[in-house]
Amino acid sequence: MSDFGAQQEIVDFLIAQDGGPCQVVTTHISIVVLGGARAYKIKRPVHFPYLNFSTPDLRYEMCAREIRLNRLYAPELYLGAHRLTRESDGRLAFDGAGALVDSVVMMRRFAGDLLFDRMAREGRLTREMIEGLARRIAQFHDAASPDFVRGGARTLGESLDHAIEALRQTGLAPMAEVDALAEKLSGALATNTDLIETRRRAGAVRLCHGDLTLRNICLYEGASTPFDCLEFSDDIATIDVLYDLAFLLMDLWRANAHGLANITFNRYLDVRDENDGLPLLPFFQSFRATIRAHVEASQGHRDIAQGYLTLAQTLLAPPRVRLIAIGGFSGSGKSSAAVALAPRLGVTPGARILNSDRIRKQMFNVSPTARLPESAYASDVSEKVYQRLFDVVRKTLALGWPVIADAVFDRPEDRAAIEACARQLDAPFQGLWLDADFDRRAARVDRRIDDVSDATRDVLSRQMAKQTGVIDWRRLDATRDVSALMAEVD
């Protein structure tokens, strides 16, 4: 067993509580004992510029705080904070009458193969899990109160200075390489300072999870569950909500789960209108990767740290504005095509997908899978849906972010209008029309369960009876595998 110094006795005591084989995991600030039914976490007696666990009293305070904050995210996992005391006979006890020796966070144990980092490595993360996670994060951010004082550009600058200095101390890369990254990050911060401050004044800064890496998310009782939030500093955890999300987006990208990163990004923005912050994402994601690089390096995980460092350098590439419109009758696979194409559009985590069905549901203030009455599809309502689609497309393009517009686009005037959006913003445009026969489309419509689209066979028949005019967009055979089909789009 590893030597944990003065805490070795405590580790042994916690192992004995389970009565079976235990796994012990260490980080730079914690020791976790993983038993059969329980997990026990103690703070290491460390003192860094950003945290102080040096005394038993401070460690108890942080354990109690960890329970309080994490119950916002995973109340079913966090059982309580307990004092570890030295009793009169010399033995250790939970919450005894003796002197405080240390403290422990007690949690329910879950299987290691349900951690999202492992599931990502093994290709077991699903779209449903990720969509549920994005909605849950959005709900946490909604519930948190805005902080109009902390989390601005100056705080980010101080954090960046600490992260760069910590990276230098690891010796992970030559100083010239670290200096070059520091210069790029500082430049990005300076460029975006006004936007960062505008968002802070508008309420985008809140007390967040603060550590949304894949290793801090699990599937517990079927629900995507963040845990182990950053508990030791309100100043560090009070951040722009997109900076919180950026940790997850970056980590999914690092795990080569590019499609899931894009789905997370889009589902979150579907729930919370944070589009104005899109220009910050390259900086936020690169900064998060830089932090992980020095943390992993300090723990001796040099290969992992190097991967994060390389990613930090590439994530700062500016997005390339572009508009792709995907049209076709219901059941042609437009949404699947958009999901396959979006991660490939030149920026991490990919294009913003704007879907007419989702916009319609938002206008009626219902969940994406709720069925709307036929009156919600009247021509005057559809006109308003398309106008809102065009408006958000223009606003997103104006921010320099690539967009995929996903709608039927069966009317010539709607195709002309979406093309005009690109011209107005001087953005490259490509229109794609997905072709498939009626039977294939109808079969796809029949298979839909809890889908965003409300289309039925009757709707499809009425669509195909309309006059579409000449469709001069690139026509694609929608009967082919969608990923292979979208890989051909240049």
Per-residue pLDDT of the chain (490 residues; tens, 9 = 90+): 345 677 999 999 999 998 778 999 988 899 999 998 999 999 999 998 888 999 999 999 999 999 999 999 999 999 999 999 999 999 999 999 999 999 999 999 999 999 999 999 999 999 999 999 999 999 999 999 999 999 999 999 999 999 999 999 999 999 999 999 999 999 999 999 999 999 999 999 999 999 999 999 999 999 999 999 999 999 999 999 999 999 999 999 999 999 999 999 999 999 999 999 999 999 999 999 999 999 999 989 999 999 999 999 999 988 999 999 999 988 889 999 999 999 999 899 999 999 999 999 999 999 999 999 999 999 999 999 999 999 999 999 999 999 999 999 999 999 999 999 999 999 999 999 999 888 787 777 778 777 898 787 777 777 777 878 999 999 999 888 888 888 888 7
pLDDT of residue 462: 78
pLDDT of residue 190: 98
pLDDT of residue 486: 83
- Calculate the average pLDDT of the chain: 94
Asked if 435 contacts 441 with a C-beta cutoff of 8 angstroms, the reply is no
Q: Which tokens in the block code for residue 208?
A: 């967040």
Separation CA 46–CA 52 (nearest Å): 6
Separation CA 265–CA 283 (nearest Å): 15
Residues 224-256 as b or e (16 or more Cβ within 10 Å = b): bbbbbbbbbeeebbbbbbbbbbbbbbbbbbbbe
Indicate the SS3 state at residue 296. helix
pLDDT of residue 3: 52
Which residue in 378, 470, 388, 390 sits closest to 429, CA to CA?
A: 390
Name the pTM for this structure: 0.94
pLDDT of residue 4: 66
Please give the domain boundaries of the chain with CATH numbers for all domains.
5-109 (no CATH), 116-314 (3.90.1200.10), 323-487 (3.40.50.300)
Asked whether the bond before 349 is cis by omega within 30 degrees of 0, the reply is yes
Separation CA 439–CA 248 (nearest Å): 40
Q: Which tokens in the block code for residue 363?
A: 């206008």
CA 455 → CA 93, 339, 428, 441, 479, distances in Å? 63, 19, 31, 11, 19
Quote the Cα angle for 406-199-235, to 5°. 120
